Structure 1
Amino acid sequence: MLRAGLKWMFLIIGTTIGAGYASGRELWQFFGHESGLAIVLFAVFFSMSCFVILNLSHERKSTDYLPILRDIVGSKLTGVYDVMIFLYLFTTTVVMIAGSGATGQAFNFSYWWGVLFIVIALILLFLKDISGILSINQIILPLLLGGLLYILFLFTFDQDLALFSHWHEQRNWTAAFPFTALNILPLIAVLGAIGNKVRTKGEIWIACIGSGLILGVISYVYNNSLIQIADELLLYEIPLFAILKHYPFGMLIFMSILLWFAIFTTAASGVLGIVTRLQSYLSIPLWLLVLLILIVMVPLTTLGFSTLITYIYPIYGLLNLYVLTRLLLYPMWKNR
């Protein structure tokens, strides 16, 4: 049970920690100053929402997100949100591919080498079907989470930062709602695709509480670090590099590799949500479906990494507030 719970926990975290999150760009977009309470609320809302989604998937034994979506938003709005989820997965996967290009540029490689590398890796991953994603998440994510926490705590101690000095005012607490809403929609798609593989309720509890707790801690420490270098963030496409400039070049290389893996796991989750939805219409091999989708996506990456995050993410965060409300109040309106 523990092993299975950790497997789903890493899938949830892998879906959430992508280019925007791991780079710090997404956190800074929503949080920043006076956001300690917002991050605590996010961790609670996130765990609750994941539990409802995964529990529904388990009960329905679902293989794609449509029946779960129908349970959450009702049959009248299912069509609208079906299109929205598909577009969301599509655009965020484009963001991840663009993020891979931006990471390549940080090492003076061509933007297109970074894009080509992630496209090939995604096609190879889906040659092994869904099991490929689950296996790679269990290898990559402990490294990613450990590396990210290490550099953030190292920066906190080196700069002598106080972790709880910003609690006198918490005017940004409402940011918890759009930020949670933003990260919930892809989880409906991804967790809806694995409902037939979940065996027990214990797995669900471990996955949901564990993912909320880990993401809450990382978000809080990360945001606290970014507050200290707020004046420098305008100069960096990827805020994490503003922290890493204080450390040897080897640390930059190590964290950039981990950043790329964060991008890769989220891109893989996005593609998983898309292809499991399309498979009911197209009877072609999974890897070929992935290839066709990626061919369409690649030209759209030229819009730029930070531009995509700045405009797309807040809009989706607001649109998804209805879904978040339904998830948080699900036990109440289900009983009614």
Structure 2
Amino acid sequence: MWRAGFKWMSLIIGATIGAGYTSGREIWEFFGHGSGLAILLVTIFFTIGCMVIMNISYSRKSTHYIPVLKDIVGARLTGFYDVMILIYLFTITVVMIAGGGATGQAFNVPNWLGIGIMVVALILLFMNGINGLLSMNQVIVPILIVGLLVVLINFMVDQNLILFSHIHEQDNWIAAFPFTALNILPIIAVIGAIGNKISSKKEIVIASVSSGVILGGISYIYNNSLIQIEQVIISYEIPLFAILKHYPVIVLIIMSVLLWLAIFKTAAAGILGIVSRIQEYFKLSFVSIVILLLVVMVPLTAIGFSTLISYTYPIYGILNLYVLTRLLLYPIWNKAD
């Protein structure tokens, strides 16, 4: 039970903590000063959202997200959000593959080679279908969480930063809604793909609560660290590097590798959501569809990592607000029905 619960938690966190989050850019864009209450609300909203999604997936024994989506937004809007999710997953996966190339350039690896490494790694991962992703997340996610926490906590201790600084400022609470909304859509896609593998409601509680607490806890510590060095952050496209400048080169290398792994697992989660949704229309193996998908995606990485993010993230943050509202109110209106 506990093992299964943490397996699903790894899948959820793996889909949530991507390149934007790990780099600190997503944290800084949404939060900053006066965000303690916002992060607490994110913890609550995310926990409830995950619990609702997992319960629906479990009850429907789903193998893709459509049955889950239909319960959340209703039959009339399912078609619209189905297209939106597919476009979102496709776009975010292209963004992550492009990010793999951009990350490689930090080690003087040509962009095309970095993208090639990412593509080959994704194909190898899915040679064993969904099980490859589940196994990878159980290894990578704990390493990523521990790595981030060790760096952030050490930084706070070394710099004598106060954990509960600015606690009296809570004027940015509204940020909880777009932040949770942006991150909840991929959860519907990946959890919808494994509903038939969830075996008990206890697993759901363990996965949902642990995911919410971990996301909220890391977000608070990360945001608190960034607040206290905000004068320096302006000079960095990746806020994490403003923290890492205080550490030896080896730490920078290790965290850069972790950043690549965060990009990789987000791309893998996106592919899982797409392939599980469209597989019924193709008489091909899981990995064959993955290869075809990647062949279509790679040319689009030429658009650029930052350009793709700047156009897609704000749009989906707004569109997902309705989905978030339905998730938070689901226990109420579902009981009324």
Percent identity over the alignment is 66
Question: Which residue of structure 2 lines up, in the alignment, with residue 282 of structure 1?
Answer: 282
Deviation per CA, 1:233-292: give whole Å up to 9, x if none.
Answer: 343332211211110000011111111111111111100000001101111111121111
Identify the residue that residue 105 of structure 1 maps to in structure 2: 105
Provide the alpha-carbon RMSD of the alignment. Answer: 1.1
Letter in 1 for 2:191: L
CA separation in 1, counterparts of 2:246 and 2:21?
21
What is the alpha-carbon distance in structure 1 between the residues aligned to residue 248 and residue 98 of structure 2?
26
* Distance in 2 separating the partners of 1:6 and 1:64: 21
| Deviation at residue 305 of structure 1 after TM alignment | 2.5
Distance, in Å, in 2 between the alignment partners of 1:19 and 1:256 is: 10
Structure 2 Cα separation of the partners of residues 242 and 112 of structure 1:
27
Number of aligned residue pairs: give it: 336
Aligned runs of 1:1-336 on 2, under 5 Å?
1-336=1-336
Superposed CA offset, 1:48-83 (max 9, x none) = 000000000000000000011000000000000000
Moved more, 78-87 or 102-111: 102-111
Contact 2:165 2:224 in 1 (8 A): no
Q: Tell me which amino acid in the other structure corresponds to 1:311.
A: Y
Partner Cα distance (1:221, 1:96) in 2: 25
- Counterpart CA distance in 2 for 1:229 and 1:149 is 17
CA–CA distance in structure 1, aligned partners of residues 39 and 248 of structure 2: 30
Shift of 1:307: 3.2
Q: Residue 181 of structure 1 contacts residue 323 of structure 1 at CA under 8 Å; is this kept in 2? A: yes
Question: Structure 2 CA distance, aligned partners of 1:101 and 1:235?
Answer: 22
Aligned partner of 1:194: which letter? I
Distance 1:109 1:163 in 2: 38
> What letter matches 2:317 in structure 1?
G
TM-score w.r.t. the length of structure 2 is 0.97
CA distance in structure 2 between the partners assigned to 1:181 and 1:54 by the alignment: 17
Unaligned segments of structure 1, at least 5 residues:
none
Q: Which moved more, 1:33-42 or 1:229-238?
A: 229-238
CA deviation after TM superposition for structure 1 residue 335, in Å: 1.7
Contact 2:47 2:209 in 1 (8 A): yes
Structure 2 distance, partners of 1:301, 1:239, is: 23
Q: Tell me the TM-score normalized by structure 1.
A: 0.97
Higher mean Cα deviation, 317-326 or 228-237?
228-237
Higher mean Cα deviation, 222-231 or 30-39? 222-231
Instruction: After TM superposition, give the deviation of residue 124 of structure 1 in Å.
Output: 0.6
1:88 deviates by: 0.8
Distance in 2 (alpha carbons) for counterparts of 1:98 and 1:14: 18
Contact 1:38 1:174 in 2 (8 A): yes
Structure 2: gaps (5+ residues): none
Instruction: Confirm or deny: 8 A CA contact 1:30 1:175 kept in the other structure.
Output: yes
Distance in 1 separating the partners of 2:328 and 2:321: 10
